[in-house]
Amino acid sequence: MIASMTAILHREPKTNHPRGQEWPLRKVLRILLVLIWPFVITVEAPLSAHADLEWKTKKEVVIESTPLDVATSLDGQMIFILVPKQVIVYSAAAEEIARIDVEGDFDRLTYSIKDNVLILTSSSGKQIKILELEMVYEIPISGLPFKGTENAPVTVAVFSDYQCPYCTRLASQLDKLLEKYPQDVKLVFKNFPLGMHKSAKQAAAAALAANEQGKFWEFHNKLFENYKDLSDEKIQEIAKELALDMEEFNRDIANESIQELIARDVKDAQRVGARGTPTVFVNGKNVKRPSLTTLEEMVKAELEEQKQTNLEISEPSDDAS
């Protein structure tokens, strides 16, 4: 193709044009050649190389209805399958997450990562439906200290790092949230020490070791107060200041159960997509921009939703009358 285009470029024009004016076809082809030449070089080169393709079946899923369309999230963690009157959501491991009922004859499905929405359209009718999605994660908190009421209807789980300045600022706002909702909120810090912070993991272990002597929150607060200067020496200094049994404290820091608890928290953070600290969840729902205002809004919404659910449960059905 390139050779034939080059020949045309050098061919004499069959009609006469004023001097200085190029033949229009030749001019167009010259522009095209300049535009496509880099792509020709890029695309043609790999074709000469031989490559094999291997594959294996990861998992098979039997669906009772005929799939009409399929979409996936950008990270591949969710698979959406549109069947008549329903969207079935699977995880990357092909485990069913949810079924979303949809009214209408929709046969096309698109997922928008930017707005986290599913867009359903119909080729036969003038229909479009937009579904806003919100992931609700199960976040294990067993074995971790908490503030607030143990059986509170709202759990605030915070993936945190003791050398993170933003975590330090948020901690005071979380205390204000608890003051406002003492019976409704349970606050739990989960450890997500970032690799860039050399003393964060040791600080997390130290706080849990202090918990063994009943002084987790005192130690927790001291760590945040000294986040700029944290080191092994500073951690030991805080322990002495709080009059901890130093032999027991240092033994507990290295305790396998404490190290496993931190490792579990890190895995949980990765599973829910946490990329930094603080990452906050209210009843398993991610708080996009955690602040006292946004946290209060989400707590209120959760309490209202649970209130509505309880009302629906308590209302007698028509059959019962």
Note the pLDDT tens digit of each residue in 130-139: 999 888 999 9
Neighbouring CB atoms inside 10 A of 122's CB total 14
Predicted confidence band of residue 316 (pLDDT cuts 50, 70, 90): low
Bridge partners (DSSP) listed for residue 147: 187
Q: Say what the pLDDT of residue 315 is.
A: 65
CATH of 146-305, one of 3.40.30.10, 1.10.3720.10, 3.40.309.10, 3.40.190.10: 3.40.30.10
Q: Say what the pLDDT of residue 83 is.
A: 94
The ranges of the chain annotated as CATH 2.40.10 are: 69-132
Averaged pLDDT, 190-196: 97
The ranges of the chain annotated as CATH 3.40.30.10 are: 146-305
Averaged pLDDT, 162-179: 97
* pTM for this entry: 0.72
Q: Decide: 80 and 70 in contact? Cβ < 8 Å.
A: yes
By C-alpha distance, which of 184, 305, 208 is closest to 265? 208
Predicted confidence band of residue 16 (pLDDT cuts 50, 70, 90): low
Contacts of 127 (CB under 8 A, 6+ apart): 104, 105, 106, 120, 121
Topology given in CATH for the domain delimited by 69-132: Thrombin, subunit H (2.40.10)
Is residue 43 pLDDT above 90, yes or no?
no
Helices 165-180 and 292-314, interaxial angle, to 10°? 40
The structure tokens listed for 115 are 């707005």
Averaged pLDDT, 168-188: 97
Least confident piece of the model among 78-82, 120-124, 307-311: 307-311
Q: Decide: 265 and 238 in contact? Cβ < 8 Å.
A: no
Give the pairing type, strands 154-160 and 185-191. Answer: parallel
Averaged pLDDT, 43-65: 73
By C-alpha distance, which of 155, 134, 147, 181 is closest to 280? 155
Is residue 263 pLDDT above 80, yes or no?
yes
